[in-house]
Structure 1
Amino acid sequence: MRYRAWILLLLANLFWAGNMIFGKLSTSEFPAIWIAFLRWAVAVLFLIPIAQLLERPSWLQIWKKHWAFIALSAVLNIVIYCYLSYASLQLTSATNGALINTLTPALIMLFSFVLLKEKGSIFQVIGLITSFIGVLIVLTKGSLLQLIHTPYNKGDLLMFLGVFCFAAYSLLVKKVKSIPAFTFVAMMASVGTVVMIPFLFMQPFPGDKVTSFGILGILYLGIFPSVGSQMFWNYGIKVLGASKTGITMNLVPVFTAIISVILGQSLVISQIIGGLLTIAGMLLTSIRRRQRSPENDIAPRLDQ
């Protein structure tokens, strides 16, 4: 069972890496808001039946009790984070996007220190600083000494802003644990797709540009990272625990870089060095204080 859990976690992170690759490719055919909308509209078609089959929730009762939390989560994660992610991929590489996303656990840790007054270990503080340095190296293309004068890639900054939004969303998830996982994702995705509908009229659907490959890309985004990864991730947490499961998130930028190279994209030295530092920082922040329960440290991964 444990071997199966590790294999499924490998697939979960591979699918999330594919989200960056297919998200990047989809930006040539769809505006960012349409990618986010179509991805989650497809996902809802699978998430609601899965939630009903596995969890049999009382949908109306959950909505009445948690509607504000679900709506805010949908805006931060499904709408803002996803839109910024795909908007950034129009301007930056999938590898950069994946590396900046690796900063997420460190930002959650920082927000927890500042806003929730949680205490951390020296390893977590060092890991937080290391991750920031690694991402700065990626953002500045290695020109840390000229940090103020460096012309940043707008796409990198949009992804960084999106990661901030997801970190804020993650703090909300930590506070509410009474909603079953698939039910929560299904309701959040449903609300998010509805909220995005008015914004679709600002960027008309580019029907003349859409190809069969673009449609396959949207289907991939809606099924594999949105549904498959969520199922595999939850299984990993159940079998291995949240701390061990969380460490596997380091594989996303690795898989993304490998796929990008296979597709013909070259890697620069600043991406390699910054990526290694960011991943090292992530590993350090995963070292928990002994008195804390590892099962409650990492919320279900719903962002990628």
Structure 2
Amino acid sequence: MVRTGTYQFQATFGALFGFRAPSVAALGALAAWIAVILYASSNSIVTALVDIGQMNPVAGGRNAITYTNLYILGSVISLLPLALLYRRDLKRDNLRRLTRRHWSLLTVSAVLSSVLTPGLFFYALEHTTVTNIVLVGRIEPPLFLLATWFFLRERLNPWAMLAGLVALVGAIVIIGADSGMVSFGKGELATVAATLSFIASTIVTRAGLRDVPIGVFAVFRTVIGASLYFILVTAIFGADQFQDLFAPVLWQWVWLYAIVVIVLGQIAWNFGLKHARAGEVSLATSFSPMAAILIAMALLGEDPGPGLIPGGVLIVIAIVIGHLGRDTAKDQTAKSKDRHVVIRPYWEIPGWMPNHVAVRPLTSTAALATPPPGDKARSKGRTDRQTMPSLQRRHFPPLLNGKFQSS
């Protein structure tokens, strides 16, 4: 069905434009790159919109395009597209399957990822540059690997850890090259706290929410996150913080943040994850820090200083190290699968025919414990000769170099 639809799309595309349409895998890779660019530009877009609000104040000289207004209004606007995008996940049966533990973990994840993390990042944007936020955020990959190893008992990939540390050194070089020393202010400290909050939310999600549909997770996190964020900001700063929520200048520009960054970013990312190869998605996400720095330079006129080139080279080296590690891990996994094979009796194969045998990775001993059909037939008064062909040598071709050769 999908293949037929793909062929029809390619035929229609070729008839309209005179050349063959790209494959779905190529479109998936393109979507992954678009999503990475959109997400990398999010901080720069938010900062640019706040600057526009400062240049166009409302009555009383207030700036209506604040970080809090953008987040609340953007979340509300994005709910309808998200609900349409994930309408299959938001069925009543899926919601009924969720236990009290699921809802509790969803709430914790929403507080961490949609209340605490954006609040800290907005505070960081008020006190430092987008470039510094991106660079300080390079502490996330190695810390995340350590967290998954410590809390989830996942295997620690040394190549990924080395790549994360090299990228972190590159970030330190860029930050410290201008002044000769690495200085941490309020913005940088808030970035560290936001990164830790994001890691914690990811750990909660991986530990207890793997079986929750992505649509339920995305919509619930948006609703609960925006609601709790509104309550928290109102309790701390007062209701006047949102008095300009319906200002025309805010509604004029909030669509850029809600539609481009939130909605289109998620659509492109989900399409890329579904159709692109894992290596292409990984390559695209690896360039996210450099893309964010370049976008901040182009959109906001930020200057990372003389450390951009040497630090950027280190970040690129880290990307190469990470991909070498992934290729090495794939090769080791493939070799391990070649060394561990199980020869299954042909009576266990659906629709078996003589001289057929199956080879599969050694993942369990369940197949070895399965009794032949002759054992089951004894209770019916039949003999093994009547129910199972004789196991002659000709039924099992010789195994040579891990592959079956015809005799």
Is the structural similarity TM-score above 0.5? Answer: yes
Over 3 Å counting, the alpha-carbon distance change for 1:63 and 1:17 in structure 2 is same
Matches within 5 A, 1:241-280: 241-263=277-299, 264-278=301-315, 280=317
Higher RCO (C-alpha 8 Å, min separation 6): 1
The partner residue of 1:10 within 1, 12, 33 is 33
Distance in 2 of aligned mates of 1:280 and 1:228:
30
Report if the CA contact (8 A) 1:96-1:271 is conserved.
no
The partner residue of 1:190 within 223, 226, 239 is 223
Matches within 5 A, 1:128-167: 128-141=164-177, 146=181, 150-167=182-199
- 2:271 maps to 235
Report if the CA contact (8 A) 2:29-2:280 is conserved.
no
Over 3 Å counting, the alpha-carbon distance change for 1:251 and 1:126 in structure 2 is closer
Q: SS at the partner of 2:105?
A: helix
Distance in 1 of aligned mates of 2:184 and 2:168:
15
2:141 counterpart of 1:105:
yes
Q: Deviations over 1:268-294 (max 9, x none)?
A: 12344334434543553453433779x
What is the TM-score normalised by the length of structure 1? 0.80
Residue identity in the other structure for 1:187? F
**Post-superposition offset of 1:103:** 4.3
Distance in 1 of aligned mates of 2:132 and 2:283:
19
Where structure 1 has 5 or more consecutive residues not aligned to the other structure, the ranges are 294-304
Residue identity in the other structure for 2:143? L
The partner residue of 2:153 within 105, 109, 117 is 117
Over 3 Å counting, the alpha-carbon distance change for 1:281 and 1:206 in structure 2 is farther
Where structure 2 has 5 or more consecutive residues not aligned to the other structure, the ranges are 1-23, 52-62, 335-407
Distance in 1 of aligned mates of 2:224 and 2:112:
11
- 2:18 maps to none
2:242 counterpart of 1:205:
yes
Over 3 Å counting, the alpha-carbon distance change for 1:252 and 1:155 in structure 2 is same
Report if the CA contact (8 A) 2:138-2:168 is conserved.
no
Q: SS at the partner of 2:261?
A: helix
**Post-superposition offset of 1:137:** 3.1
Residue identity in the other structure for 1:166? F
Report if the CA contact (8 A) 2:25-2:277 is conserved.
no
The partner residue of 1:80 within 109, 116, 132 is 116
- 2:205 maps to 173
Q: Deviations over 1:38-57 (max 9, x none)?
A: 332222232123211x4343
Q: Deviations over 1:31-81 (max 9, x none)?
A: 4333332332222232123211x4343364255441111101111111111
CA-atom RMSD, angstroms? 3.0
What is the TM-score normalised by the length of structure 2? 0.62
Q: Deviations over 1:241-272 (max 9, x none)?
A: 44531331233333333333333333312344
